[in-house]
């Protein structure tokens, strides 16, 4: 024993317990090893200037714990190590940034406006089956089921490259990577581009799946309208959650800003295939194919999100880095689904399905906007999207959409409150209505119910404002 224990006579913990704890630490740390002899009680008492009974009490405690054993006439020896603490997971884990907690009740009978997803009852199941069977009988099944390339299933990659060329969204220095949905594209982009503290410009409110990824990377999120950033991730078409479309002049200004500030500009373009009205606007990539912008697309909002297939088009050095990180992250995306999706697309079934989805989406959006006008309380505002699966409602000042969710769910309707999407600006009285997954009649009924809940709360609030404040203290 090289070092004497440091004891604190002023501590409320008795000295014999302090001494025991000190030995315990040394044994746990391996500074005292099994078989090693402890000083005799008399000797240690002298060294520490303590009463010998204090030392004896400490040794007894250590013996009770099975850490030392006393041998008559020979002294006390270290007998074993203390049982380890169970792993303290709360301190071991890097948890993703705390999300705004929403307590969504899963009730199949309810009307859900909570998820931005296409309606599964419109999935062309027979066309999917046919595409599947064509892949099963293609004669390529063994290589499809074998390990593949991190860049994606080459025939699908070639198909998407050709499509991109036709749509003028493949710049001369661009390449393409297939990802497990748009979410993985965003995640990989964060991993290769975002350094801690980097300023990343986004819309406010923004898709929480993007916000949380960026917070995991310790980025500093700023509204894209409020100044320079190293990276910008924007959704100019039917943004989630607002449903808004960025006008052409603003697209050009964003592009010009990006050019001047050497901002890496990323367009998250997963909704553009779902335009119900108005003219398509050019993507950043079409406006400036040589400017090094990046475009993310996905099949998930028009067909089969359960397959998790998206892709990224961007400058070759970026795509190379993304592919390397994709390989680290999961080697590659599921090849069977890539092969089936290729058949679904090149057979023309995807285009037919997309036309159905646009028709259905238009009806649903119309139903949603009609119902909003009829049922939301006076003083409410909402966006009027030209496409996509979501619109954004701002209730009269003072109402709290998160609080009202509980009541709404009891009445059978769910949605996501605005705070989930918040970046800088508070969004207490806002909410997202995802109308894509509900039938028109359900949408009307659901918004009617929400209107009733919100109007009642609005009345209560007005009442409260009119009543004089009674102060009891």
Site residues for its own copies, window 294-323 (CB under 8 A)?
Answer: 300, 304-308, 315, 317-318, 321
- Residue number with CB closer to its own copies (44 or 194): 194
**Sequence-distant (≥ 6) Cβ neighbours of residue 54 within 8 angstroms:** 15, 16, 19, 45
Interface residue with its own copies among 10, 109, 147, 249 (CB under 8 A) is: 147
| Residues in contact with its own copies, shown as a per-residue x/- string from 96 to 125 under the rule CB under 8 A | x------------------x-x--xx-x-x
Residue 233: CB minimum distance to its own copies, A: 14
- Which residues ranging from 399 to 438 are in contact with its own copies (CB under 8 A)? none
> 3-class DSSP state for residue 265?
strand
- Buried-state track 221-231, b at ≥16 Cβ within 10 A, e below 16: bbbbeeeebbb
- Residue number with CB closer to its own copies (65 or 407): 65
**Sequence-distant (≥ 6) Cβ neighbours of residue 211 within 8 angstroms:** 97, 202, 221, 421, 423
Q: Which range of residues in 7-15, 33-41, 328-336, 448-456 is near its own copies by CB under 8 A?
A: 328-336
Is 85 an interacting residue with respect to its own copies (CB under 8 A)? yes
| Residues in contact with its own copies, shown as a per-residue x/- string from 31 to 70 under the rule CB under 8 A | ----------------------------------------
> 3-class DSSP state for residue 26?
helix
Q: What is the DSSP letter of 397?
A: T
Interface residue with its own copies among 76, 237, 335, 427 (CB under 8 A) is: 335
Return the residue matching tokens 């092969």.
339
Residue 311: CB minimum distance to its own copies, A: 13
Interface residue with its own copies among 24, 127, 174, 187 (CB under 8 A) is: 187
Is 129 an interacting residue with respect to its own copies (CB under 8 A)? yes
Residue 410: CB minimum distance to its own copies, A: 24
- Residue number with CB closer to its own copies (145 or 460): 145
> 3-class DSSP state for residue 149?
coil
Residue 129: CB minimum distance to its own copies, A: 5
- Residue number with CB closer to its own copies (9 or 30): 30
C-alpha closest to that of 421 among 202, 270, 181 = 202
- Which residues ranging from 336 to 395 are in contact with its own copies (CB under 8 A)? 336-337, 340
> 3-class DSSP state for residue 83?
coil
Residue 128: CB minimum distance to its own copies, A: 7
For residue 392, give the H/E element and its range: strand 390-394
Interface residue with its own copies among 17, 22, 223, 329 (CB under 8 A) is: 329
- Residue number with CB closer to its own copies (88 or 397): 88
> 3-class DSSP state for residue 440?
helix
- Residue number with CB closer to its own copies (2 or 85): 85
**Helix 181-193 crosses helix 208-216 at what angle (to 10 degrees)?**
30
Size of the residue set binding its own copies (CB under 8 A): 79
Residue 304: CB minimum distance to its own copies, A: 4
Query: What is the radius of gyration, based on Cα positions, of the chain?
Result: 32
- Which residues ranging from 207 to 226 are in contact with its own copies (CB under 8 A)? 209, 212-213, 216
Q: Which range of residues in 162-170, 185-193, 423-431, 448-456 is near its own copies by CB under 8 A?
A: 185-193
Interface residue with its own copies among 1, 28, 79, 105 (CB under 8 A) is: 28
- Which residues ranging from 239 to 278 are in contact with its own copies (CB under 8 A)? 259-262, 264
**Helix 316-330 crosses helix 181-193 at what angle (to 10 degrees)?**
110
- Residue number with CB closer to its own copies (16 or 271): 271
C-alpha closest to that of 272 among 307, 298, 311, 310 = 298
In whole angstroms, what is the distance from residue 404 CA to residue 269 CA?
32
Q: Are 305 and 93 in contact (CB under 8 A)?
A: no
Q: What is the DSSP track for 110-137? A: SEE-S-----GGGS-HHHHHHHHHHHHT
- Residue number with CB closer to its own copies (94 or 463): 94
Helix intervals (H) in 331-431: 335-346, 349-375, 401-410
**Sequence-distant (≥ 6) Cβ neighbours of residue 72 within 8 angstroms:** none
In whole angstroms, what is the distance from residue 4 CA to residue 22 CA?
9
- Residue number with CB closer to its own copies (173 or 286): 173
In whole angstroms, what is the distance from residue 96 CA to residue 72 CA?
57
> 3-class DSSP state for residue 287?
helix
Interface residue with its own copies among 69, 145, 253, 456 (CB under 8 A) is: 145
Interface residue with its own copies among 47, 248, 253, 331 (CB under 8 A) is: 331
Residue 315: CB minimum distance to its own copies, A: 6
Is 128 an interacting residue with respect to its own copies (CB under 8 A)? yes
């Amino acid at each position: 024993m090289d070092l004497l224990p440091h004891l604190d006579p002023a501590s409320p913990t008795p000295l014999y317990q302090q001494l025991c704890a000190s030995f315990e630490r040394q044994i746990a740390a391996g500074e005292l090893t099994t078989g090693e002899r402890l000083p005799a009680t008399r000797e240690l008492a002298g060294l520490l200037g303590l009463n010998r009974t204090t030392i004896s009490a400490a040794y007894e405690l250590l013996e009770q714990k099975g850490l030392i054993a006393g041998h008559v006439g020979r002294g006390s020896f270290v007998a074993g190590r203390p049982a380890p603490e169970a792993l303290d997971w709360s301190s071991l884990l890097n948890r993703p940034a705390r999300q705004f907690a929403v307590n969504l009740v899963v009730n199949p009978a309810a009307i859900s406006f909570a998820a931005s997803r296409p309606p599964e009852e419109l999935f062309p199941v027979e066309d999917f089956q046919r595409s599947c069977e064509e892949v099963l009988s293609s004669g390529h099944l063994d290589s499809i089921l074998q390990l593949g390339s991190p860049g994606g299933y080459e025939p699908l990659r070639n198909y998407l490259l050709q499509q991109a060329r036709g749509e003028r969204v493949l710049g001369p220095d661009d390449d393409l990577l297939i990802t497990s949905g748009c979410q993985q594209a965003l995640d990989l982009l964060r991993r290769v581009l975002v350094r801690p503290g980097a300023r990343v410009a986004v819309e406010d409110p923004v898709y929480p799946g993007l916000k949380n990824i960026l917070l995991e990377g310790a980025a500093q999120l700023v509204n894209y309208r409020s100044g320079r950033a190293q990276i910008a991730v924007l959704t100019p078409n039917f943004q989630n959650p607002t449903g808004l479309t960025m006008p052409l002049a603003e697209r050009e200004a964003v592009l010009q800003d990006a050019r001047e500030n050497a901002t890496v500009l990323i367009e998250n373009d997963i909704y553009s295939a779902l335009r119900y009205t108005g003219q398509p606007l050019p993507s950043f990539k079409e406006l400036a194919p040589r400017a090094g912008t990046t475009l993310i697309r996905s099949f998930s909002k028009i067909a089969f999100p359960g397959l998790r297939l998206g892709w990224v088009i961007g400058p070759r050095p970026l795509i190379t880095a993304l592919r390397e990180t994709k390989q680290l992250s999961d080697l590659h995306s599921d090849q069977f689904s890539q092969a089936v999706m290729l058949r679904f697309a090149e057979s023309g079934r995807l285009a037919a399905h997309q036309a159905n989805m646009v028709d259905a989406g238009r009806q649903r959006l119309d139903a949603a906007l009609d119902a909003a006008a009829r049922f939301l309380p006076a003083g409410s505002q909402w966006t009027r999207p030209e496409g996509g699966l979501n619109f954004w409602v701002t209730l009269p000042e003072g109402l709290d959409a998160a609080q009202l969710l509980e009541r709404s769910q009891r009445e059978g309707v769910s949605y996501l409150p605005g705070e989930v999407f918040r970046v800088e600006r508070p969004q207490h009285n806002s909410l997202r209505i995802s109308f894509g997954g509900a039938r028109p009649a359900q949408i009307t009924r659901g918004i009617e119910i929400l209107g009733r809940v919100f109007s009642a709360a609005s009345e209560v609030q007005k009442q409260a404002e009119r009543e004089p404040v009674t102060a009891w203290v």
